Chains A and B, each alone.
Chain A
Amino acid sequence: MHSLAAFVFRCYFDFVIRPPANDDLGLHPDPGGDVDLVSADGRVLVDVAERLLSVRDLHAKLAQLALVAHRRRAEAILVLMAPRLSLARVREEVDAFRAVLSPDVAPRLAVVTVDDDKADRLPDSPLTRSVAAHFATTTPSRPGPRLDRSGEALKVLVHRWLLGKGPIQMQQLQTVTGLSYPTVAAQLRVLGDAVTRGSNRSVSLRVLPVDAWTELRARRTRQAAWFADGSGRPPDLEHLVHRLRRAHPEGVALAGVLAARRRHPDIDLVGLPRLDLSVHAHSAGSDLSFLRRLDPALVRVTSAHQAVLAVHTVPREDALFEDDDGLTWADPVEALLDLQELRLDAQAEAFVKHLRAGARS
């Protein structure tokens, strides 16, 4: 039984937790809870300190980590995310601290500093380079324009908040969003008190952060692609859905009103004002060539008011799409954002209440 549990954990670790790029350490949350992350072989411990404000805090972190390194006889690396201290000051304090450690522990203690415009490794070694790369790494770049992922951590948290899925560990949040640790951390900082942090480096949403959500909505609307029926005929949106079901293009999900209605059948909406699609940025459908099969008479327009079809890109690593009834469905957050873009505010509010009620029950 124990070996089965280990096997399951190993699979989970390999396919879910383990970051996909530039990380041969296999860092994952520390089951012992002493530090944030531990390598696959248990020989490397990593603790993360965000926005360290003072030398005193730095000393405290180093002392705590040195103790754990001693007890677990492991390499220990402190990662400083966007510290308020200068690199020179950090280097000076780390050197001084090492000097007072025992010769057994001092060589096994390292510090990596990661920030937008500065980086440092003490000492510079293959191990510290690997850890620095892990925290600086985002998802491997893909062809095409740069994707705006600045709201993805929020969207994933809202997804879990709406569906009552509970907290998510930082590492998993990185995996789902495809963002580096500093980027996720920065996105969470913006959310302020709306985010609840757990003891095991997990985070969850306490309330919907209105300002961040409003900004996310605006940014997403600016990045939408809208299409009208170029034939001049009244659109037949039901038939477009039929076509979508038949073509079933990879990485393309129904969103908007239909996705909302799927989760909340009694939502106060008659008809279909617009067809909304979410397209996973990392899929074959991301070049939108599937639209020609859907309806070659679709023409791109600049105004949402003219649109019969809206396409939004989901840039995160895991689109959180679901397959059901021969169709792929976008997650409720995309549906909610679509409702709000359509100015169906009352329906959007009802949708949130419905999902939250289900989440609590």
Chain B
Amino acid sequence: MSETLVDPRDLLGRLARELPPELHEQVFVAGSLAAACHHAARLAGGGVRTKDADLVVRPSGNTRGAQAIALRLLDLGWRHRKEGAFLPGTETTPADKLPAIRLYPPDHKDYFVELLIVPGDERPGAKPWVHVELDDGWYGLPGFEFLALTEIGRVPFGGGLFYAHPSMMALANLLSHRTLSDHTMSSPIGGRPDIHRHAKDLGRVLALAHLEPRQEMDTWEIRWLGGLRLAFRDRWPELARTVGDGLRALLTDGTFEEAHHCCIVGLLAGTGVSEANLRATAERLFVDVIEPVEEAGRAAGA
């Protein structure tokens, strides 16, 4: 992967042009590219090093749609991104051993897309990858428990392509890590191995909050509560009530330093943001958004 900084808006613009227009309605961009694009003007140096675009297939549970999108792109000449011991699986390969669907555009390797899927139900718990058969074998579609939230309040980018709003990505990450775990990342982040997943994802929450202007942050409470009610009609009070638990725990946990590391090699690279700065941002997020949402959850659950 090149170390050259790229303007995330340029990258997303290329994706919008190179992705067949008829597919735009069926996907939206999430993850670091979406976050960087939303805050492009506030990034130090104006660019990012990310080259992967998380494409979330909608609506929820649309496995066949994801399969059709992958096949359509392969028909158009998009190529699998083959890393390490890349090998498609079989129908009986355990889902977590299947390769993800990662595709380069036909003519270059300036970025690649990775397909994800919104789970088809709101039941709690980790969502197993979904088997998808393509021309050369079986692949896996990751679908995270709270990914449905990122579909709500999507931001139009242009050319009919949308990306997830940072507030909803932050909410999904918070809910995914309401308790801290020992789960570590399989790949190094910024040259450091064994980063805890919760530190990476909760660090992303802090990075998003840090980049968000405060008047915009004022809309997060409404976005979160609206999104929770829409995506988790039965569970929302409990989710709202516990939304800050993981971040609260992180602030007093030794892995906070890892979260800071992930920020300064990621979205906040070059900003000089310190751990103390991040803690202040966390405090702001608690007072402005998390505490009111927790209170709403308590009130609804009472």
Contacts and interface: CB of A to CB of B under 8 A. Distances in A.
Contacts of B5: none
A230 B286 CA distance: 15
Contacts of A236: 213-215
A239 B215 contact: yes
B214 A230 contact: no
Nearest to B42: A233
A297 B283 contact: yes
B277 A230 contact: yes
Contact of A231 (B272, B284, B286, B287): B284
A59 B280 CA distance: 69
Nearest to A242: B215
Given A231-B210, A236-B213, A296 B284 contact: yes
Contacts of B283: 230, 296-297
A295 B284 CA distance: 7
Contacts of A233: 210, 277, 281
A233 B272 CA distance: 10
Nearest to A240: B214
A224 interface: no
Contact of A232 (B213, B215, B274, B288): B274
A299 B210 CA distance: 16
Contacts of A146: none
Contacts of B273: 232
Interface string B192-212: 000000000000000000100
B181 interface: no
Nearest to B278: A231
B271 interface: yes
A297 B215 CA distance: 15
Contacts of A229: 280
A229 B283 CA distance: 12
Interface residues of A, number: 14
Contacts of B288: 296
Q: Tell which of B214, B215, B276, B288 has the most Cβ of chain A within 10 Å.
A: B214
A236 B213 CA distance: 8
A67 B183 CA distance: 95
Interface in A207-254: 229-233, 236, 239, 242
Nearest to B276: A230
Contacts of A239: 213-215
B295 to A, nearest CB: 14
A292 B283 CA distance: 9
Contacts of A292: 287
A299 B276 CA distance: 10
A189 interface: no
A8 B202 CA distance: 65
Given A231-B277, A239-B214, A239-B215, A297 B284 contact: yes
A230 B210 CA distance: 11
Given A293-B287, A296-B286, A296-B287, A231 B215 contact: no
B213 A231 contact: no
Interface string B258-302: 000000000000011110110111011011100000000000000
Interface string A270-293: 000000000000000000000011
Contacts of B286: 296
Nearest to B272: A232
A292 B287 CA distance: 8
Contacts of A296: 280, 283-284, 286-288
A198 to B, nearest CB: 52
Contact of A230 (B271, B272, B280): B280
B284 to A, nearest CB: 4
Contacts of A231: 210, 277, 280-281, 284
Nearest to A230: B280
A229 B214 CA distance: 12
B165 to A, nearest CB: 20
A74 B227 CA distance: 79
Contacts of A232: 210, 271-274, 277, 280
A299 B284 CA distance: 12
B265 to A, nearest CB: 17
| A239, A242, A296 pick with most chain B CB within 10 angstroms | A296
Nearest to B212: A233
A299 B274 CA distance: 14
A297 B284 CA distance: 6
A230 B282 CA distance: 11
Contacts of B215: 236, 239, 242
A227 to B, nearest CB: 11
A102 to B, nearest CB: 74
17 contacts: A229-B280, A230-B279, A230-B283, A231-B210, A231-B280, A232-B272, A232-B273, A232-B280, A233-B277, A233-B281, A239-B214, A293-B287, A295-B214, A295-B284, A296-B284, A296-B287, A297-B284
7 shortest A-B CB distances, which residue pairs?
A230-B280, A232-B277, A297-B280, A296-B283, A296-B287, A231-B280, A297-B284
